[in-house]
Structure 1
Amino acid sequence: MFYEPARRNHGLPHDPLKAIVAPRPIGWISTLSEDGVANLAPYSFFNLVSEHPTIVMFSSAGLKDTVRNARASGQFVCNLATLALVEQVNLTSKAIAPDESEFDLADLARAPSRMVKPPRVAAAPCALECVVTESYDLKDRHGAPSGRHVTFGEVVGVHIDDAFIEGGLVRTDKLQALTRCGYFDYAWVDTLISVPRPE
């Protein structure tokens, strides 16, 4: 089959693109509102986009609390979503009032960050403390607003649970990092193969 995404003329009950570009890492982003409310939400349009400087990004469909808080404070934390936390990750995707906290909704303990003000998810084995470098509204190829908002942040602090470091390497398979596929599907990393680059 062939279809044009702008026309959505695929004839399927759901857009298949997110099932093709998969699995996608999940950025479980915590922010702090101007009133001090801790917000937490998962974003599957997320990735590490640069090593030096160390930059991550997430994209939001709609101007949600996470984007507003990150823009206002200039800070956010990316908590590692794992298989052990899949229920809480899913629960924190629920839309709730800005004066309510998803930490409370999902009964998640907070842990203090060192370099930024938003708290971390205490149960997450890894967390990236970030300072916003830029945040802007996406436009399509014609220059029309898309209703999507992209935020980039430089990682200024990294937390890793030592239990997942073996032989000097972080064991992604032991972390069972959660990923998003199409529709309501998730996957996780539990198997690795090493393929050295050619000389």
Structure 2
Amino acid sequence: MRIDYDPQAVGTAAFYQLLTSVVVPRPIAWVSTVSPEGFVANLAPHSFFTVSCVVPPVVQFTSVGRKDTLRNIEETGEFVVNLAPEPLFEEINATATDFPHGVSEFDAVGIEREASLRVEPPRVAASPVALECVLHSTLRLGDSTVVFGRVVHAAVDERVLVDGHPELALLRPLSRLGGNEWGTVAGVREIARIPYERWRQERDG
């Protein structure tokens, strides 16, 4: 037996909690930006995040409401997506605090930064992966804005590479689940896609 939920009937907050509890796990874009004047470096996690395109390489995240991250990107056209690794769990959560406008999460939380190569916003020094992006476009949907960024440079810590490729067990990415829950990589299953011709042969015996 299934329970039916009508978004209009249950209300925005309740249906948001339902969506974020079933659309799981969600990767985290730990986004760094700078203010238009270049004085304040902001850093905030966004859990509506994915890859949008391969050619050109484009990633996307959604800003729910209008926050410093979105305003900075609209003004400067640049941002960095830093991988959110398990060892920085508490720092990542702390940067989600609603600090007043003009306060740098880097400084408030005590997060070391490093210079980016192609864009102005700094990278998180302790994050194993940074995707430097320039703004491709934005899409307004209700109370949210989807931000598309063209990746112009990727910086990967050599310590998480195995045979030249990022190793999941070394990256240790966090994910967001429902409520205050976060996910870690506890186990991995691997299976190759089956070409149709092989699938047909195996089916037919």
The two structures have a TM-score, normalised by structure 2, of 0.88
- 3-state SS in 2 of match to 1:136: strand
Q: Count how many residue pairs are aligned between Structure 1 and Structure 2.
A: 191
Superposition pairs of residues 107-146 of structure 1, within 5 angstroms: 107-138=110-141, 146=142
How far is 1:147 from its partner? 1.5
**C-alpha distance 78-104 of structure 1, shift in aligned 2 (>3 A):** same
Question: Match of 1:6, as an amino acid?
Answer: Q
**C-alpha distance 192-2 of structure 1, shift in aligned 2 (>3 A):** same
Residue 203 of structure 2 is matched in structure 1 by none
8 Å CA contact retained: 1:133, 1:154: yes
- 3-state SS in 1 of match to 2:159: helix
Is 1:29 aligned to 2:25, yes or no? no
Residues 189-198 or 81-90, more deviating: 189-198
Residue 200 of structure 2 is matched in structure 1 by none
CA distance in 2, matches of 1:151, 1:98: 20
How far is 1:106 from its partner? 1.3
**C-alpha distance 56-27 of structure 1, shift in aligned 2 (>3 A):** same
Pick one of 43, 49, 63 that aligns with 2:52.
49
How far is 1:13 from its partner? 9.8
How far is 1:175 from its partner? 1.2
Residue 8 of structure 1 is matched in structure 2 by 10
- The superposition leaves residues 54-107 of structure 1 with CA deviations (integer Å, 9 ceiling, x where unpaired) of 111111111100000001100000000011011000000011122110001111
Question: Match of 1:31, as an amino acid?
Answer: T
8 Å CA contact retained: 2:7, 2:15: no
**C-alpha distance 191-106 of structure 1, shift in aligned 2 (>3 A):** same
Which is richer in strand?
Answer: 1
Residue 147 of structure 1 is matched in structure 2 by 143
CA distance in 2, matches of 1:132, 1:87: 29
Residue 168 of structure 1 is matched in structure 2 by 164
How far is 1:53 from its partner? 1.3
Gap regions ≥5 residues in structure 1:
139-145
How far is 1:16 from its partner? 1.7
Which is richer in helix?
Answer: 2
Is 1:191 aligned to 2:193, yes or no? no
The two structures have a TM-score, normalised by structure 1, of 0.91
CA distance in 1, matches of 2:121, 2:35: 9
Question: Match of 1:18, as an amino acid?
Answer: T
- 3-state SS in 2 of match to 1:158: strand
In angstroms, what is the RMSD of aligned CA positions? 1.7
Between structure 1 and structure 2, the one with the greater Rg is 2
8 Å CA contact retained: 1:176, 1:190: no
8 Å CA contact retained: 1:115, 1:157: yes
Is 1:19 aligned to 2:21, yes or no? yes
Gap regions ≥5 residues in structure 2:
196-205
**C-alpha distance 78-3 of structure 1, shift in aligned 2 (>3 A):** same
8 Å CA contact retained: 1:3, 1:9: no
- 3-state SS in 1 of match to 2:10: coil
8 Å CA contact retained: 1:61, 1:148: yes
